[in-house]
A and B are shown apart, each in its own frame.
Chain A
Amino acid sequence: MTQLVWNGLFVGSFYALVALGYSMVYGIIKLLNFAHGDLYMLGAFVGFAILGAAGGVSPAMTLPVLLAVLVATMAGTGLAGVALERIAYRPLRHAPRLSLLITAVGASFALEYGMRAGAGADPRVYPVRLDGASFEVLGARVTLQQLVLIGLAVVLMAGLNLLVTRTREGRAMRAIALDPRTSRLMGIDVDAVISRTFFIGSALAGAAGVMAGAYYGKIDFLMGFLIGLKAFTAAVIGGIGNIPGTMLGGLLLGLLESFGTFWLGGEWRDVFAFGVLILFLTVRPTGLLGERVVERV
């Protein structure tokens, strides 16, 4: 039982990290960025390339090296996200929503098959694995690497939440989400803030990609497809556009899958996840924490 909860929370924290970028981008320009999962894939490959270039890693140095790679990868995927917005999405800012959506699907394919062309179709084995002792907590087997990865995810999410709720930049993001035109009248450079939002969202996805590579040990050019859809599901469950809601949605989806797999069997895992997505879209499309504000005119 506690094992199921722990596994669920662990996978859920990955989902949450990726879902946050989805949710931030949706919040600010109302775009479902279907290429977001591929930025996670890109992150895994960028991390792979950096580790490969650095040569072997001595086992004692695994954690600090991984952290350094994580930071470099976040910068790299962040910039890739900024470029994606600049090239593919900004010219369509005032186009119908559907054009933007189709462009996002196209961007997703471009990233996936661009990576296949560049790095090949075969899965790569990650040159670093976090091996660690496992120990028992309340009857659940927990490994050190899981603790480290979950810790990283929590730190990143807490930092993001502070940024959005407490800072000038975060206020500007929330203002643009509500009313970009009026935001400009406050002196906010809307394009610049949107760029930085893509940077942050993509950097978080890239971080999750490196963490997934180090944890699962294998990466391939299509690894972002399913997690992109899962992140979308997580964002919908929590309330897309809502930061705490999205974190909650990620963790809940992890837990649902963990328990669903246990009760129904592993082959039902994705069926279960997307069944939940359909259920939410029908019954509560605003998600658990997404709410409509009553506005007086």
Chain B
Amino acid sequence: MLELRDLDVHYDGVHALRGLSLTVGPGEIVALLGNNGAGKTTTLSAASGLVRPSGGAVTFDGRDITREKAHKIAALGLVHVPEGRRVFSTLTVHENLQLGGYLVRDHAEIRRRVDRVYDVMPRLAERRAQQGGTLSGGEQQLLAIGRAMVTGPRLLLLDEPSMGLAPLIVASVMETIAQINAEGTSVLLVEQNAVAALKIAHRGYVMENGACVLQGSAAELREDTRVAEAYLGG
């Protein structure tokens, strides 16, 4: 449903993506692995309209969105959860979630979706009146994902959801992502924590210097010695 073809991105004089191609199919979790600076975040930003590619094409459900504006892309159901969670710090948990429903005109529908997030993430329900900035790192990550869920995405772009979280919390965040996927939302998951990502992903790509150097099923990537050496600490 998402296809990036021969994508080139330059910014601030850096050639951040060099002919990157990848696809995400319906119902899939696809992991995008690689070291710092490999271009993973740029890939997501190019897909969601935050940066303009200088070459190549982005299509979503067969529609060319290469030069579409970010807020229009979000409206199509391609929703980017940025790195560092980016929770609105002085808005309450509840207001953060309501903002996810910005494009939904039907109040009852927004309420239904927000309640659904509270069902999946009971910790957020307990803290609904608290300011977003006062939550712990793991809770903020859940809030960022929950807020994106309220938009009604068909494909979620998640950027380093495990960043800065304790291993136990990482496991629970990954479990939540798998659960969201099981209910029908596709996921493109950028991670440095390859072990955690490959546990829930169906397929994966490995990036280096702005291009894809390796791809395969999650099982293949787990077995691949190059991946093991570089990212799995083996």
Contacts and interface: CB of A to CB of B under 8 A. Distances in A.
A121 interface: no
Interface in A273-297: 293-297
A293 B88 contact: no
A115 interface: no
A182 interface: yes
Those 5 A-B pairs whose CB atoms lie nearest each other, nearest first: A187-B74, A184-B70, A187-B103, A182-B86, A295-B133
A188 B71 contact: yes
Contacts of B133: 293-296
Interface in A100-115: none
A179 interface: yes
B99 A171 contact: yes
B66 to A, nearest CB: 17
Contacts of A189: 69, 71
8 contacts: A171-B95, A174-B91, A179-B86, A184-B71, A185-B48, A185-B148, A190-B71, A295-B89
B182 interface: no
A179 B99 CA distance: 13
A187 B91 contact: no
Contacts of A175: 88, 91, 99
Contacts of B91: 171, 174-175, 178
B124 interface: no
Contact of B75 (A171, A187, A294, A297): A187
A54 interface: no
Contacts of B100: 186
A293 B50 CA distance: 27
Contacts of A188: 71, 99, 102
B172 interface: no
Interface of B: 48-50, 69-71, 74-75, 79-82, 86, 88-91, 95, 98-100, 102-103, 131, 133-137, 140, 147-148, 151, 164
Interface of A: 168, 171-172, 174-175, 178-179, 181-190, 293-297
Contacts of A171: 91, 95, 98-99, 102
Contacts of B69: 184, 189
Contacts of B102: 168, 171-172, 186-188
Contacts of B95: 171, 174
B136 to A, nearest CB: 7
Contacts of A297: 137, 164
A163 to B, nearest CB: 14
A1 B91 CA distance: 41
A85 to B, nearest CB: 18
A186 B148 CA distance: 7
Contact of B88 (A178, A187, A190): A178
Contacts of B70: 184-185
